[in-house]
Amino acid sequence: MRDLARLRGLLSLLADAVEHGSRAVEEVHSSSSARAFGVIELVPSTREHVRAVRAVHDAGVALTYGGVRLVTRVVRASFTVGLDVAEAVAPTSRDDR
């Protein structure tokens, strides 16, 4: 049972790292691209096209990082169910009491 508790802790640590890490990377990605798009949008002849490209880019970024977080939550939930089942069927030993 102690091993299962350790696995739960490791699962939580990894899932939290992906969740928070992906948010941090997404923020840096978005702010960097916003600066680049902002400069290019200053050119009047490119402004309309750049805004369209920027909208597609921003949607793609949001979907990608959101997808990473969604998959992480699904994996976390799946492993949690597996650990719950393993805990329910595991024989108890004297060391775990």
Residues 6+ apart with CB under 8 A from 11: 76, 79, 80, 83
70, part of any domain: yes
What is this structure's pTM? 0.81
Q: CA nearest 61: which of 72, 73, 53?
A: 53
Q: Which domain holds residue 14?
A: 7-90
Give the model's pLDDT for residue 96.
Answer: 53
1, part of any domain: no
- Residues 44-63 have pLDDT tens digits of 999 999 999 999 999 999 99
Number of domains in the chain: 1
Q: How confident is the model at residue 92 (pLDDT cuts 50, 70, 90)?
A: confident
